Structure 1
Amino acid sequence: MLLKNETNSRSLLATWKNRDKKTVGDSRISKAPVGATIPLSSGQQRLWFLQRLLPENPVYNYAESFIFKGELNEAAFEHSLQSVFEENPILRAYYPYEDGRPIQVTDESSKVDLKRFDLSGMPKVDQEKQKLDLLLSDARRHFNLNEFPLIRTTLVKLNNDEHVFLLTMHHIIFDKWSMDLFLKELAAHYLAYSTDFEIEKKEENRLQFADYAYWRKNRELDAIQMAYWTKKLGGEIPLLTLPTDYSLPANPSYKGTSYRTKFSSTLSKRVLDLSKKMETTPYVFLLSVYYILLHKYSNQKDILVGSPISLRKDTALENIMGFFDETVVLRTSVLSEMTFLTNMQIAKTWNTEYRMLNIEYRISDKELAGCIDHTLLSATATEEQIKQLCEEAKSYG
């Protein structure tokens, strides 16, 4: 939706994106004490619970493939990978269950395991099939969060001037932002190893994801924010009933797809202009449209929408790899007798500061059941599994 030739639109979006970020100098985050037990962040904890519920399901695998054109110095590439691993402890993290809770541990002595496959002698058709088989089999192989590594690297040689790099990891250690950081660091190290270019060394005592997770777990919760969310998400949670062609299967496959569409320049500009006129963001504007659409299809007034957000509110976190994503539940009432503007104002009531709240408190059996999709619990988990997870949740607190 960003317009390439619209300077005002670009600066407006940049202002919205960075409006509440803390500067490095104002950062409240400090290093975790030496030897401290590192907890999971709230987002990691959510993924950990879901993975425990479906231990052999690769739904939270994050897989990417990259094509390298031209001559590749494989030794320099492997050295570069090793350097990135050494500089970013999150890539060497795993999550054993100790003393009634999962903790974050870094494998200090690990080396990158780059698997190599040479397909250069194959016919083109067989080569493409083998390459796809390698990618899919790796992407579909689940990880055990209790064990290192939670990342797999593979280099496939197609010919002397073309290689494919396969990167698969569990989402618990990586978000999309981290992928960009990973590729930039990998490219910088490769350039340094391949030439006489000298790379700028990072500070040894810089912040890492473990420091963030420790800080977030041990900070004081805001009573006002807690009261806000308790009220906002209290009471009966309605299930959105949309008209579908088929009923939900008893055993969901978790296979799906996504459809993307691109706004035209004219429509993008109208959305930006209207958002500015209504003193809101394009996100809230489009979210309001989405609420109304769901209301029209379901004929329900009380609607909840899950929305992914990034917790990189502090500029000190911008260059740190890790899983900073979180899912917040946005609840609103859509009333057909009200105007769009009124409905948008209702949707706008959730405050950006409140939505960043990490609700960390003891989870009861009922609360755990409420935070996991009902079809997931009823269709794929036994009563004993649910009971065990509830006990683990309460002890983790």
Structure 2
Amino acid sequence: MTGRPRIQDILPLSPFQEGLLFHSLFDPTDTDVYTVQWAFDLKGTLDAAALRAAAETVLRRHPNLRASFRQRKSGEPVQVIPTEVPLPWQEIDLSAQGREEAERAAARLLVEDRTTRFDPARPPLLRFTLIRLASDLHRLVFINHHLILDGWSMPLFMRELFTLYMNRCDESALPQVTPYRDFLAHLANQDREAGRKAWSAVLADLDGETLVAPGATRQGSTVPERVHAELSAEETAALVQQMRTCGLTLNTAIQGAWGIILSRLTGRDDVTFGATVSGRSPELAGAATMIGMLINTVPVRMRVVPSESLLVGLQHLQDAQAQLLQHHHFGLSELHGMAGTKELFDTCIVFENYPVDPQSLDLTGAGLHVASMEVKDAAHYPLRLVVVPGERLRMWLDYRPDLFDQATAERIVGWLLRLLEEVRVDPSLPVGRAEMVDPAERALVLEEWNDTAAVVADGTLPVLFEEQVVQTPDATAVVFDGIELSYREVNERANRLARLLVGQGAGPERFVAVALPRSADLVVALLAVVKTGAAYVPVDPDYPADRIAYILDDAHPMCVIAGFGAEGVLPTDTPQIRLDDPAVQARLSVLGRENLTDADRLGALDAGLPAYVIYTSGSTGRPKGVVVEHRGIVNR
């Protein structure tokens, strides 16, 4: 092909393609995680020229595989389809090296291949590398950008490739191509208004996003790491049968378990997460065999009610999803607008129920055998759960290592397996009683982490404070509004005030009201009261007069310690010690500043004595009424 390529078609983008293009272009200098790499080890005699011709034929048959992605002058993204483009194909011969060295070199080539970005504006967004490891062993590496192919398409693509290789590019053995533009036309013909109503109802009153990694960038180019899990054939069959008995799908069971996990991880009882849907509507002729990008990611909303049974919760989830089956074509940006948020979720589930035909990999007629197959793909989500149904249910959790470590990912997978076990064994179990943690984790939380027992010496607050005075007498103890008091100064002031209180009858089983605003004097007064053995009754001088009168009348304190701001708000029938009174200050100045002993008090200090009395209104979370706090116990 020479000169400027001719344009065969110009097509719009699907909503999912628009999202992928945004992520691909966000930082063109970094790794693009939305590439998929397949590696097939082909054992036997291989005709490289015939395989290349087969690949060229696949590229010619499907115009959308030749797409480049550009913007119109208006800013609208479009996919431009040239009539033809050369197939990116390279052959590398490592057979002269030893087998181990050849394998290492091939592994390096695969890493380099996967980290080499596609330019969305330069088609095609796919390439082949054929590595010769030995005379009878080749590794075929195929990589593409997710913009042009989804997971459902890959088995179809490889079936075409190998069928054409087997038949020397005779296309008669293949089904007629359904143009990708038919899918885009199908999207354009959907009832948008009905879809908006359905999604608006689902997203109504949503109070926020569900994020396991709040604050993390969603354009992360970090290649995820992976934790695998698998159910046995017996466990898989039992789970599938239980779901059928309950009228539920296996997909619902996975989604419900994931919703419960997100609830535990985020503390939310109304969670959302992404689910990848095929986009292959039965209303679209040829959709099942179409090769291209048809999938979409839509939000799944689940309300997690601890008192509901697992079965009821799963039924509600499945019923809600059934209402949206005709509206999976909406893009996330539009759905975000309906929900009134920039983001709905940062986790996603992919249910890979693809039409894999084992016969498509049977190359024995051409003297070849597919000895192994490896697939590498990724996404930008902090957590992505991939589920592959089959005789054994296989799952893996992709996690971004910049946000989660392997131990955390393994623990989350363990939670998932145990929740599926609960669903299989007893779906009538309340959600709140569903067991997620294993015995070792339970022992860690309840026993090892909770093993906080320690020997605490007997003592009272006055004694403990006086011991601290001995250790750090000049250290700052109280700072308020420009005033700083050391431990020694606080202790000496409290000792003098305590002696004054004792002289007026303060002691064990007696109450002293303290009607001081927040201040350094308040700290001194509270300490002075407990030094006498009496209990203090805090009274906010800003309370209404009738509230203060009620407290003092009910508590019957022997006196009230007051100061500035208490004028006119305290009843006159209760004795007062006014710290702003010069006469009181004069009396305090001549009292001893040394610590009180039991001989100085009206009774010995005891940890069982009341320490304070608080009058509550219920806003503290405690019952409305009086709380009497003892030095060793609590009475209500």
Q: Rg bigger for which structure?
A: 2
1:39 matches 2:12? yes
Q: Deviations over 1:285-333 (max 9, x none)?
A: 2322222233234332011121111111235112211011111110121
Give the whole-Å Cα distance in 2 for the aligned partners of 1:208 and 1:303.
38
The correspondence of residues 212-361 of structure 1 with structure 2, limited to 5 A, is 212-216=183-187, 218-236=188-206, 238-240=208-210, 252=220, 254-314=222-282, 316-352=286-322, 354-357=324-327, 358-359=329-330
1:83 partner amino acid? T
Q: Deviations over 1:257-294 (max 9, x none)?
A: 22222212332222222212221212112322222233
User: Which secondary structure state, in structure 1, belongs to the residue aligned with residue 297 of structure 2?
Assistant: strand
Q: Which residue of 1 aligns with 2:148?
A: 173
The one of 105, 110, 118 aligned to 1:143: 118
Whether the 8 Å CA contact 2:118–2:125 is kept in 1: the answer is yes
Give the whole-Å Cα distance in 2 for the aligned partners of 1:47 and 1:248.
18
The one of 47, 54, 67 aligned to 1:80: 54
Displacement of 1:255: 2.6
User: Which secondary structure state, in structure 1, belongs to the residue aligned with residue 299 of structure 2?
Assistant: strand
The one of 52, 57, 64 aligned to 2:38: 64
1:76 partner amino acid? A
Give the whole-Å Cα distance in 2 for the aligned partners of 1:233 and 1:57.
34
Name the count of aligned residue pairs: 336
Whether the 8 Å CA contact 2:37–2:141 is kept in 1: the answer is yes
RMSD: 3.2
Q: Which residue of 1 aligns with 2:432?
A: none
Displacement of 1:234: 4.0
The correspondence of residues 183-222 of structure 1 with structure 2, limited to 5 A, is 183-193=158-168, 199-200=171-172, 206-216=177-187, 218-222=188-192
Displacement of 1:248: 5.7
Displacement of 1:223: 2.7
Return the structure number with greater helix share: 1
CA distance 1:36–1:160, shift in 2 (3 Å)? closer
TM-score normalised by the chain length of structure 1: 0.75
Of the two structures, which has the highest relative contact order with CA contacts closer than 8 Å and spacing of 6 or more? 1
2:42 partner amino acid? F
1:105 matches 2:73? no
TM-score normalised by the chain length of structure 2: 0.48
Q: Which residue of 2 aligns with 1:394?
A: none
Displacement of 1:222: 4.3
User: Which secondary structure state, in structure 2, belongs to the residue aligned with residue 349 of structure 1?
Assistant: helix
Q: Which residue of 2 aligns with 1:50?
A: 23
CA distance 1:220–1:113, shift in 2 (3 Å)? closer
Give the whole-Å Cα distance in 2 for the aligned partners of 1:146 and 1:102.
11
User: Which secondary structure state, in structure 2, belongs to the residue aligned with residue 59 of structure 1?
Assistant: coil
Displacement of 1:166: 1.0
Q: Which residue of 2 aligns with 1:7?
A: none
2:107 partner amino acid? L
User: Which secondary structure state, in structure 1, belongs to the residue aligned with residue 182 of structure 2?
Assistant: helix
Displacement of 1:349: 2.8
Q: Which runs of 5+ in 2 are unaligned?
A: 1-6, 348-379, 381-636
Give the whole-Å Cα distance in 1 for the aligned partners of 2:103 and 2:173.
39
CA distance 1:66–1:221, shift in 2 (3 Å)? same
Q: Deviations over 1:82-102 (max 9, x none)?
A: 111111112211111113211
